[in-house]
Every structure is written in C-alpha cells, then in structure tokens.
Amino acid sequence: MFTPKIPPPDTAPTPGTSLVPPLTGLVHPPACTCHNAPTAPAPVPALSPARPAVRFTPGALIVAAAGGTAVVLVVGTVLVSMLLATAITAASVAVCAVVLRSLLNRPNNR
C-alpha cells in the first residue's frame, strides 16, 4: 500500500524528453489596439507660493497650554472617578457577600 508505484520501463519517459510538447507558432496580440501616437506630456501647473509657517503669538501659546492642561485635568478626573466607582462597587459587593455568608451559615443563631 505504501510502496511507490513505478511505471514499467517501456512507458516511463527518458530523462532527455518531456511530456509537454513545445509551443511553437504562438503570436501574442498587442496590449493596446488603439494605434495612437504618443502625445507630449501634460504641462505642469505652476506651483502656488509656499504657505507661510504657522506662527504662534504669546497669547496663542498661553491659550494652547491652558487648553492642554484643561484636557489633561478633565481626562484625569474622569479616569479617577471611574476607578473610584469600581472600588466602591467592589467593596459593597464584598460586604454583601460577607453578610450573606453569615446569614446562610448560621440560620439558628439569630
């Protein structure tokens, strides 16, 4: 079952021959049949003058710094409040678990 099936010597191809016949007489059609002559490249449009670099005035720098500080404070406050809410929820669940455990373990000692 696992032994290779070798063809008999009279049908096996010789090392110098190929099973695929050579391709002869093939003519490929041209990629484009439009037969247009190449045209001159399109003219490059004139570049607009370079825009000036952004310049910050001292007032704009102060506003940008204050805005960045406000964003950091707001995001920090939101994250801390979410952490605090999670901690309070975890503590209340723990207290409820202890109370329930004490009620269920000793029902006769009330």
Question: Token match 């096996």: residue?
Answer: 12
What is the chain's pLDDT, residue by residue, as a tens digit (110 residues)?
677 777 666 666 666 666 676 677 777 676 777 766 666 666 766 666 677 777 888 898 999 999 999 999 999 999 999 999 999 999 999 999 999 998 888 766 55
What is the pLDDT, as a whole number, of residue 46? 67
What is the pLDDT, as a whole number, of residue 39? 66
Residue 78 identity (one-letter amino acid):
V
pLDDT digits (tens, 9 = 90+) for 45-59: 666 667 777 788 889
Whole-Å CA distances, 50 to 23, 46, 47: 60, 12, 8
